[in-house]
Amino acid sequence: MSQTRPLPSVVKFTQLLQSVTKMKHYSSSNVDNFEQHSKSIYQKVSNLDDALNLFDEMSQTRPLPSVVKFNQLLHSLTKMKHFSHSIDIFKQMCALRVPVDKFTMSVAIKCCCQLYRTNDAFALLGFCFRRSIVPHVFIFSALLDGLVHEDRILEAEIFFKKLIKLKLCEPNVVLYNTMIKGLCKVGNNVIAIQLLGLMDENSCKPNVVTYSTIIDSLCKDRMIDDAFKLFKEMVFKKGISPNVITYSCLVDGLCNLCRREEASKMLQEMLDVGISPNVRTFNILVDAFCKEGNVDEVEDVINIMIEKGIVPDIVTYSTLIDGYCLRGEMSKAKTIFYSMVFRGLVPNVVSYSSLLNGYCKSLKIDEAMDLFNEITRKGLKHNVVTYSTMIQGLFEVGRCGDARKLFDEMHGKGQMPDQLTYGIILEGLCNNHQIEEALSLFHLMGDSKLNTYIVVYNILIDGASKCGKFDIARLLFQDLTDKGLRPNVRTYNVMISGLCREGLVGDAKDLFHKMAESDFPPDNVTYRVLLQGYLKNQYYDDLEILMHDMDGRRYSLDATTLSLLLDQITAGFL
């Protein structure tokens, strides 16, 4: 195959060509014969080997087939998502001096972008200019999509504005849709809607994709009323018919807001206009049922899917597995997992994560560890979620050594801990009375970004306080100012609780008043914590004032505080 056999050098290639020319072993009829023959071959290109073998045959034909034939092959290979091989063939086409055109360049650029190599794609744009190939809108759309694909949205905006300002191409609906997709990806719905208006001004008609993209983003941001407003504009003002994606977005938005009745009406409307739900629509319903704890109804939904000829996918089963795990029904979750495998679906790391989380939450750590090892055996790579879940499970049962080993393994395999993992490690150590270990890790991380999150300080302050190291807790609290961090409600609550535990009720009261003047006023928990401190330390005068204040704010007592209060009354102190 061409990728395993290097092309001859330019000198050797020229010599070979001269030899063939002298021998008169080629003629235009050879090319005609090849091109006639290739028409039937193209229809047989259904896999990578076919494509590479065909390229070998084409590259050895003299004279070379037209660029159109090479482009057809390149297109077939790209459709099969063999992007790396497409780029290799493009390079070899250039080495063969095939006169590449706009179509060749657009395919090569698209492949680079799909491989997260957008910088290389822009280098190919320069190649276009050097070859006097004037880029068309499809090339610019591919480049814009590459930036969006890599979450480089600001750069995408700058690039898009340059295209419009310098009139480098006539923007079409694909170009606009790509930019709108990028804006919605970062929740910039306002600019996306403005761009929708700009399309009208530039006589570029938006389509169902344009509207569905913005509607989906609005629904994800829980702006359902704005989504419906845009939906009505699309249907009644623009005369654009919604499709299954549009309806699915709205159903998802309504389900996320627990507006099940309206979601059902939307589904009915969808059916009334002759649009059948697809697997994504059903997955939205499955997710909604699972979140409400109605897992039994989900199996009915899956049966309806199968009856309608819609095959449940990995997302459907993973969601159902997660639903059973949340209810602690691990045997059912496992049955669904193996049912999925039986149906020919290959579990991914998300499916395993749900099951792993279920075992850890049920404190079945040995089963969880077996499953964790199975993920590796199946050739899947652990991610931050699987490591974090397993580490947390080990800490829950006091296996701190194993948790630390797993954390080190994670680090060694290039999986950098995120804020969640770091928090799990620190909290796990603190909960197991290993505050020195937690502080050691904290100091080891030094000026890492992970040490700039207030949640990290909250964990350590709470842990140090509960482990009888309140002097350390106080130092950490003071350290916040030096680091430019502001305490939040949780920080204040933890500190007030620690001060009360140490009998420093006066200091707790002062901090309470300081909190009231901050951007984070006391909440119900703050009042309960201070109230318990007053009761345990017999600050009865302050108790009455605080309870009156709570009553005015309509804050309620929890079971622990109420029990303490009744004990004091029974003992005759109140």
Quote the number of domains for the chain.
3
Secondary structure (3-state) at 239: coil
Evaluate whether residue 200 is within a structural domain: no
Mean pLDDT, range 107-127, rounded to an integer:
93
pLDDT of residue 18: 33
74 and 96, same domain (yes or no): yes
303 and 406, same domain (yes or no): no
pLDDT of residue 40: 44
Q: 197-201 contacts: CB < 8 A, separation 24 or more? A: 199/173
pLDDT of residue 356: 95
Mean pLDDT, range 388-393, rounded to an integer:
96
pLDDT of residue 9: 33
The closest of 65, 45, 43, 49 to 3, measured between CA atoms, is 49
**Least confident stretch, 163-177, 292-306, 547-561:** 292-306
Mean pLDDT, range 295-303, rounded to an integer:
83
φ/ψ (deg, to 5) at 292: -85, 0
pLDDT of residue 14: 30
When the pLDDT of each residue in the chain is averaged and rounded to a whole number, the result is: 88
pLDDT of residue 472: 95
Evaluate whether residue 492 is within a structural domain: no
Listed residues 304, 320, 347: the one ending a domain: 347
For 88, half-sphere exposure in the C-beta direction (CA atoms, 13 angstrom radius) is: 17
74 and 156, same domain (yes or no): yes
Evaluate whether residue 87 is within a structural domain: yes
Mean pLDDT, range 200-207, rounded to an integer:
90
409 and 315, same domain (yes or no): no
Q: Residue 168: CB partners within 8 Å, gap ≥ 6?
A: 135, 140, 162
The share of the chain scoring above pLDDT 90, in percent, equals 66
Helix/strand/coil (H/E/C) assignment for every residue in 500-528:
HHCCCHHHHHHHHHHHHCCCCCCCHHHHH
Mean pLDDT, range 498-523, rounded to an integer:
93
53 and 166, same domain (yes or no): yes
Q: Which domain holds residue 318?
A: 293-347
* pLDDT tens, residue by residue, 411-426: 888 888 889 999 999 9
* pLDDT tens, residue by residue, 434-483: 999 999 999 988 888 888 899 999 999 999 999 999 999 999 999 998 88
Residues 73 and 54: beta-carbon distance below 8 Å: yes
62 and 85, same domain (yes or no): yes
Evaluate whether residue 259 is within a structural domain: no
Specify the DSSP class assigned to residue 293. Answer: T
pLDDT of residue 8: 33
Phi-psi region of 538 (alpha: psi -120 to 50; beta: other; left: phi over 0): left
Evaluate whether residue 399 is within a structural domain: yes
53 and 155, same domain (yes or no): yes
302 and 410, same domain (yes or no): no
Evaluate whether residue 424 is within a structural domain: no
Give the number of other Cβ atoms within 10 Å of residue 74's Cβ. 25
Is pLDDT above 80 for 234? yes
Mean pLDDT, range 344-368, rounded to an integer:
93
* pLDDT tens, residue by residue, 18-51: 332 333 333 333 434 434 434 444 556 788 988 8
The reported pTM is: 0.69
Evaluate whether residue 307 is within a structural domain: yes
What CA–CA distance (Å, rounded) separates 237 from 244? 20
| 22 or 236, higher pLDDT | 236
335 and 378, same domain (yes or no): no
Listed residues 170, 202, 228: the one ending a domain: 170
pLDDT of residue 359: 95
56 and 165, same domain (yes or no): yes
Q: pLDDT band at 570, cuts 50/70/90? A: confident
Q: pLDDT band at 407, cuts 50/70/90? A: very high
Element (H, E) at 71: helix 67-79
339 and 356, same domain (yes or no): no
Token pair of 328 as six digits: 């602690």
* pLDDT tens, residue by residue, 335-350: 999 989 998 999 999 9
pLDDT of residue 32: 43
334 and 392, same domain (yes or no): no
Element (H, E) at 182: helix 173-185
* pLDDT tens, residue by residue, 58-96: 999 999 999 999 999 999 999 999 999 999 999 999 999
* pLDDT tens, residue by residue, 240-270: 999 999 999 999 999 999 898 898 889 889 9
CATH classification at residue 74: 1.25.40.10
Evaluate whether residue 516 is within a structural domain: no
Residues 113 and 149: beta-carbon distance below 8 Å: yes
Listed residues 170, 192, 226: the one ending a domain: 170
The share of the chain scoring above pLDDT 70, in percent, equals 92
